[in-house]
Structure 1
Amino acid sequence: MQLHINTYGTYVHVRDQMFEVRRKLESGEIDKKPYSPQKVTHIIMATGTMLSTDAIKLAMQNNVDIVFVEQDGEPLGRVWHSKLGSTTKIRKAQLEASLSAVGVRWVKSWLLTKMDNQLQFIKDLKKHRPQHADFLNDKLTRMEALCVSVHTLEASRVTEIADTLRGLEGTAGRLYFETLSYVLPKEYQFSGRSNRPARDAFNAFLNYAYGILYSKTEKSLIIAGIDPYVGFLHRDDYNQLSMVYDFIEPYRIYADEVVFRLFSAKKVNKAHTSPLVNRNGEAGATLNAEGKALLVGAFNEFMDGDPVRHRGRNLKRSQILQSDAHQFANELIQKNERAKE
């Protein structure tokens, strides 16, 4: 269970060794809801909410992740216990892989999986939209060619082909989102990806969903012993979670699918977003409390709902992230040890 605390003035504290969430209703009454720390996995705190130090302590004692996010869902920081949770051998192997062909193999695998997920999603859309077959087939052909280009790239380290990879991935992403927009009802169509601010409701929902997914990905990597800051493809800029941005790529489809379903089913309306002007004076849209409640509920149901088949096992999507993070860590160590023999 995840607690998403995003209503202004909501307070999370401890009562009888339980998390208690308190918020003031429009009637003036105080609503109080208790949650067992054994059942909570994340506490997501948006700006304008409050958290007691006792709640932080209880969370750390029960391995509950606390994440602070902007109103658009972008993570600001997190509270995590001080134990590494795994051997430092993993971090050493991760650093060595970032400077070798091992990193190239992983980056290509993540990007190809992401692009294959996008292709499969479009193919699924085509099954129920025969009137768009020509448009969809054209996009599929062009995206498949980009996958071939990624697959054939070779290098001794990622930096040698990083710009090419980003270009191919970016082109595939543009074609993919053009396709999603094209098949949506006209009132929901959008012009490409936009962030900070989102220029439309679809991007506002997608940005917030990605924010949730960033948090889940970072936690999965930390638990597996992976350093979230040492990436292979994304640049190691100051305070940048480069490995989170690398590792998340195959799982972005989770956010895409949830948001697309909400819009294609016409469950989103104007009451779910509010106008926004960023620091540069650019106008856009952001999710309000109603929009966040709609998205968070749908996203959690999707991630923790019925299991799907993955690597020969039936796993919930939230479990897939953690399982793959552990596999990544284990393969890094094994590859590193074989190289030294």
Structure 2
Amino acid sequence: MRKLLNTVYVTTEGAALRKEGETLLVELDGAEKTRVPLHMLSSIVVFGAVLVTPALMAACAERGVALAFMGRNGRFQARVEGPVSGNVLLRREQYRRADTAEDIVRSIVIGKIANQRAVIRRAQRDYGSEMEPPARAALQAATDRMAQILRRVQLSDAGVDEMRGFEGEAATLYFSVFDHLIRTPDAELRWTSRSRRPPRDAMNALLSFLYTLLTHDCRAACEAVGLDPAVGFLHRDRPGRPSLALDLMEELRAPLADRLALSLVNRRQLRARDFQQMEGGAVLLGDEARRTVLTAWQERKREERLHPFLQEKAPFGLVPFLQAQLLARHLRGDIDAYPPWFWS
């Protein structure tokens, strides 16, 4: 099994990243803050104005360590990586299947809806008895309807566009009851609706930040097994968009990103004061809050779960790599179908 390597996140603007021997050296105001052996790293992610020396970039490219640049608000800006590796025959099969991928899209949509429904059902089990009757009824109605959608996806011979419609309907249901999953006294952290580019409230800012981190990991997973992250099945091709990485993350949004966001807010590790309202209406995580989220993200990725298809335990952080590997095996013809990852 692939080793779960570390990702280094640098959030302090003005920091400098250098190569010293076979290690990454992080400095601030000329003083050493930390150092990490390069062979222990899978990627480096920097936020805002952080200096990265050409020597370190070259070393990362040579060793397969991805280097991602994010804006201060966590929005993706650029990615530096070495030569593309992978089997050309696998990529040719990926391109060939991209226009006739109903079976793969069906698996992705089933995994996403099932995991969204599992998040709601977990909330029902954990604190449903404490909810007001209207909230309990809304959650039950959503899970019942999502179960019906799941059956339609599983049993129908729907095309890709129709399955995209099923996925969109389930997502609308999921986010329509998302506020009932939030348990915080801060009115500013309540949920209204999904907004992005830019996020208009605190919860959307938190979700968008976590989705960016998850996209980074899914893209790395695609590249690690030799797949082209730009050519997806559920997501249409668009210049500059890692469509396959977005496909892979759909199954993981709810159990990994959404559940973490809810935990941080419900445990009051994040409060309304941790978010900043910008002049244009965007809401961003504050610097300290961003560090809190990144620490929690790394801890969550180390948690182990049983993989339902492989029947072995693996850290959350390896799930994108395992799913990319299973997708590659399906495209090669080694397994009959792409098995989605189910959270329980």
1:166 aligns to 2:164 (yes or no): yes
**In the aligned structure 2, how far is the partner of 1:266 from the partner of 1:259?**
11
Cα deviations by residue, 1:168-216 (Å, 9 ceiling, x for unpaired): 2222112212322123135221111111111111111110000000000
Tell me the residue number matched to 1:10: 15
**In the aligned structure 1, how far is the partner of 2:90 from the partner of 2:10?**
34
1:263 aligns to 2:261 (yes or no): no
TM-score, normalised with respect to structure 1? 0.88
**In the aligned structure 2, how far is the partner of 1:183 from the partner of 1:239?**
34
Tell me the residue number matched to 1:133: 136
Tell me the residue number matched to 1:149: 152
State the 1:69 CA deviation: 1.6
- Residues 1:318 and 1:336: Cα distance change in structure 2 (over 3 Å): closer
State the 1:126 CA deviation: 0.5
31-40 or 315-324, which deviates more = 31-40
Check the 8 A contact 2:160/2:234 in 1, yes or no: no
State the 1:31 CA deviation: 4.8
Check the 8 A contact 1:197/1:276 in 2, yes or no: no
Give the secondary-structure state (helix, strand or coil) at the position aligned to 1:82: coil
Cα deviations by residue, 1:3-40 (Å, 9 ceiling, x for unpaired): 1112211110122331111124xxxx845211111222
Give the secondary-structure state (helix, strand or coil) at the position aligned to 2:58: helix
Tell me the residue number matched to 1:98: 98
State the 1:335 CA deviation: 6.8
Tell me the residue number matched to 2:233: 232
1:309 aligns to 2:310 (yes or no): no
Check the 8 A contact 1:271/1:290 in 2, yes or no: no
Give the secondary-structure state (helix, strand or coil) at the position aligned to 2:177: helix
Alignment of 1:1-341 (within 5 A): 1-24=6-29, 30-84=31-85, 86-100=86-100, 103-127=101-125, 128-130=127-129, 131=131, 132-154=135-157, 160-162=159-161, 164-184=162-182, 185=184, 187=187, 188-253=189-254, 254-277=256-279, 281=280, 283-305=281-303, 307-310=304-307, 311-334=310-333
**In the aligned structure 1, how far is the partner of 2:166 from the partner of 2:122?**
23
AA aligned opposite 1:172: A
**In the aligned structure 2, how far is the partner of 1:107 from the partner of 1:161?**
7
State the 1:267 CA deviation: 1.3
Cα deviations by residue, 1:230-289 (Å, 9 ceiling, x for unpaired): 111222122221111222111112111111100111111233221224xxx4x1201121
Give the secondary-structure state (helix, strand or coil) at the position aligned to 1:38: helix
Give the secondary-structure state (helix, strand or coil) at the position aligned to 2:33: strand
- Residues 1:336 and 1:136: Cα distance change in structure 2 (over 3 Å): closer
**In the aligned structure 1, how far is the partner of 2:175 from the partner of 2:72?**
24
State the 1:290 CA deviation: 1.0
**In the aligned structure 2, how far is the partner of 1:8 from the partner of 1:68?**
12
Structure 1 gap segments, 5+ residues each: none
Check the 8 A contact 1:174/1:192 in 2, yes or no: no
**In the aligned structure 1, how far is the partner of 2:231 from the partner of 2:181?**
38
Cα deviations by residue, 1:314-340 (Å, 9 ceiling, x for unpaired): 101111211111111121011799xxx
**In the aligned structure 2, how far is the partner of 1:111 from the partner of 1:252?**
12
Check the 8 A contact 1:93/1:336 in 2, yes or no: no
TM-score, normalised with respect to structure 2? 0.87
Check the 8 A contact 2:232/2:245 in 1, yes or no: yes
Structure 2 gap segments, 5+ residues each: 1-5, 337-344
State the 1:104 CA deviation: 0.7
- Residues 1:289 and 1:16: Cα distance change in structure 2 (over 3 Å): same
Indicate the percent of aligned positions where both proteins have the same amino acid.
22
Check the 8 A contact 2:25/2:32 in 1, yes or no: no
- Residues 1:336 and 1:255: Cα distance change in structure 2 (over 3 Å): closer
Check the 8 A contact 1:303/1:317 in 2, yes or no: yes
